[in-house]
Each structure stands twice: as C-alpha cells, then as structure tokens.
Amino acid sequence: MRYYVLDRGDPLSVELTQQFHKLAEQRGFVLDAESPEIVVSIGGDGTMLHAFHTFIDRIPDLAFVGVHTGHLGFYADWKADELNELIDHMSGARKTGSVEPRLVKYPLVQLEIHKKSGTSSYIALNEFTLKGVDGTVVAQIDINDVTFEMFRGDGICVSTPSGSTAYNKSVGGAMVHPSIDALQIAEIASINNRIFRTLGSPLLLPKHHHCDIFSRKEQRLLLTIDHINISIDDLISVRCQVAEQQVSFARYRPFPFWNRVRDAFLG
C-alpha cells in the first residue's frame, strides 16, 4: 500500500507520525508523497483540510483517514492511542479488518470566481465564505440565473454537508448529513429592516442547482475557501454548485455521522 502522512506539527502529532512510519514499514507499506493510495491526517479537522488541498489534484485517486489529536475531529475516525489498531486494519492483520476499506464519499462545493482581472476555480471541502474588509457587504444572490435577493450584512457562507457542522453551524445553519448531494447558503449577520430585506434563514440547493453571488458595489472582500484566504477588490461574481467529483474517506470500522455530532456537541 502506498501512503502519505500529513500532521499538524505539534509534538504529539509529530510523535504519532514517526510511530506510524515505523509501523507502516514493518507491514510493507510504501511511503509515497506523489501518488499515495491513502493519505493519513494526524491532528484536527484543520489538518484534514490542509491534506485535502495538498492532494486536491488527485482527489479521485485516493482516500483519506483521520487520526484525532485535538478537541473536535469530524473527519477523524481514530484516536491517538489507536494507531496500532488502525495499522492492523489497513494491513488486513485483524480478522475483522481488510486491506480494502469501505469508501465513504462526501460532496464538495465547486466555485468559479470571476474578477475583472480573470477567472479562477476552486473546490471546498468545508465551506466558502465571502466577507467585507471595510464594512457592509452588498451582494446580489441569484439562484439558477434568477435574482433571489439583495444581501446586505457581514457576509455569506456556502457550505458542504460535511462542512455544515463547522462555520455554517455557528451562523445558524442546519447540520446536513453528508450523504445528501447539496450545498447550503447561510447569511452572516444580515441587515433586515423596513428598507432592506433578506430571506433571513439558511437554504439548501440540490446538486443540479447553482447560485451566483454578484458584488454590487466597489468593495474590498475577503474570500475564504476552507483555510485559504483570498483578498479581492475587483470581484464580479462567484458561482457556487455541488462539484462533480467527491472526496473519499477510508472507513475501517463504522462511525455514523450522527454519532460524531452527538459526541462533538452533546458530549
């Protein structure tokens, strides 16, 4: 098996990475930074986001496994003290394990950012946010090429189902099971009064729909794709839709999504 490990860089994660390399060598695994079959993330969800974007050009050809060393880990199936068990499952050494894991596929968000200076494309695992740098964001939101609303407020969050438990939740969005091919649009501190109106609640768009966010004034904006920040002062629009490709996670044992939600938010 060809593998690669990306860790958070803290002492515990670095130590676990070294342990993983030793155990992997004993099982005949091959360390491959160019074309791994499995990418192991050791740290938190931020580490998984970094791993995802590191290998974003090879998303269809590999799967991710998360080892959790922080406080919350929605993308991590394994704890720090379970490294030996994980290696056993990956190598097929356990009777209940298998070299071929069950692959769980999650939806992603495809973004097309149109600027006066050019167009660029991105994919988000968690979310895309648009915020103002100097003040209130003014943006027109179209759904399927029809004007839906004129937004004024702090910003807009567009999340994947797996990212619905992250920033989306903190701005009042719903938690969505990642088996649902959809994206969610949530407002960030919208202005609602007798003059300016927005829907005021999050909404879900299915896979065959798209939304366009048009900048409607001269404004400096901060666009964030997962952990990547982009400053823009010439934005025309951003098109958001469910991506054709999906991300794969290797599951060597069951870990239902709602169990993750319960453990993270209810204890």
Residues acting as catalytic residues = 45
Cα distances (Å, whole numbers) of residue 31 to 87, 97, 129, 253: 14, 21, 35, 23
Structure tokens at 215: 């900048």
SS3 at position 264 = helix
Beta carbons within 8 Å of 70's beta carbon, 6+ residues apart: 8, 43, 44, 45
Annotated binding site: 45-46, 50, 126-127, 152, 154, 165-170, 189
Give the count of beta carbons closer than 10 Å to the beta carbon of residue 153: 19
> Could you tell me which residues are annotated as the binding site for NAD(+)?
45-46, 50, 126-127, 152, 154, 165-170, 189
Report the amino acid identity of residue 205: L
Q: Among 19, 22, 17, 60, which Cα is nearest to 42's?
A: 17
